[in-house]
Structure 1
């Protein structure tokens, strides 16, 4: 029983047991264990739900392929009333966006909608998910990049550096100018440390 190794079941307040469980599942290529964790995302015990979603996206960080078949479950959980499951599922999606891009593209509007109403982490991981999807191919990029640009135009100034850094993988020769123009329009409102991060982005794109 994988569930017996969860933090809440060990009466632990920290996440270390969940991280260790994720590491073990990956090291042992324990697909049955991952399946058990996924099934318990709908456990009646919210502590078990929270532990399981932590294990899921930790596995995704290490070995995305082990959770990529469960993409539709994570998309469904974006509508959960449990905020921990919402941002945890978006975190999981951000780890498998390249592996499960076709499935995610069929539900991209749900990802965008979750970002509009979600917590800070949901938005952060949502931007990362969209950027990864946009980097997969030109068709994805044409659909998603305008959404990323609109986000950079309207998000809070303090979020721009991080979200611009996430978006960078979706920047191409075709859309680079639009990206840079958007950042320059908002640069005047940034603090010195924020603008320093933007300048690093310019440098990576060979822009003055």
Structure 2
């Protein structure tokens, strides 16, 4: 059975379960041909198939990133898609492979940030995830951290606690004050006490670095 025949839309399903199950089978089998078929159909004339394909790709990437890592160029192309679902799906897929191919992701980092700055919440979430992952690689730490701190400065209040928590593990002692200062600066923007408490907890932990 063709990969396309197993997609949610092909099965007349409105839920994502068939796509998730397909991704699990592809990941477990290490099926590179199936991944290539998904890549080839990202430009399919049927929008539902396009969207199912990117869903299966990033779900596969989360389980077996080595299968998706060779397709950075195709994912990069989708970052500027007018279809928002493809755009944030591509960013999600890039997030899953950054640890494997940091050099290739770093090479398109300018586009990633430009897209994130005008993109949806999910697009921004995964751009931050990419920056955090890049920061674990010494050769990219300084650039990725600088961009990550910029994201914290302009993050939506609802997202800020999550971004702060994600960032904390990669903050070094010599950068902790800049990190703490940004979080203090942003606290008045955060309306909910529960989110303020989360940020304050991050600040306390950062002071111990």
Alignment TM class, shorter chain as reference: over 0.9
Contact 1:135 1:169 in 2 (8 A): no
Counterpart of 2:132 in structure 1 is 131
TM-score normalised to structure 1 length: 0.93
Counterpart of 2:21 in structure 1 is 20
Counterpart of 1:152 in structure 2 is 152
Question: How much does 1:89 deviate?
Answer: 0.3
Contact 1:74 1:92 in 2 (8 A): yes
RMSD: 1.6
Contact 2:8 2:14 in 1 (8 A): yes
Counterpart of 1:170 in structure 2 is 170
Counterpart of 1:187 in structure 2 is 187
Judge which range, 5-14 or 38-47, deviates more: 38-47
Counterpart of 1:58 in structure 2 is 59
Q: What does the per-residue CA deviation read over 1:120-157, in whole Å, with 9 as the maximum and x for residues that have no partner?
A: 111111111111112212x3111121111122112222
Q: 1:204 to 1:26 in 2, by over 3 A?
A: farther
Task: Give the secondary-structure state (helix, strand or coil) at the position aligned to 1:43.
Answer: coil
| Counterpart-to-counterpart distance in 2, 1:42 and 1:58 | 19
Counterpart of 2:47 in structure 1 is 46
| Counterpart-to-counterpart distance in 1, 2:63 and 2:204 | 30
What are structure 1's unaligned runs of at least 5 residues? none
Q: What does the per-residue CA deviation read over 1:159-196, in whole Å, with 9 as the maximum and x for residues that have no partner?
A: 21112122234312232221112112222333210022
| Counterpart-to-counterpart distance in 2, 1:88 and 1:136 | 24
Structure 1 residue ranges (4+ consecutive) displaced by more than 3 angstroms after TM superposition: 202-208
Counterpart of 2:97 in structure 1 is 96
Q: How many residues align?
A: 207
| Counterpart-to-counterpart distance in 1, 2:150 and 2:7 | 40
| Counterpart-to-counterpart distance in 2, 1:43 and 1:12 | 18
Question: How much does 1:207 deviate?
Answer: 3.8
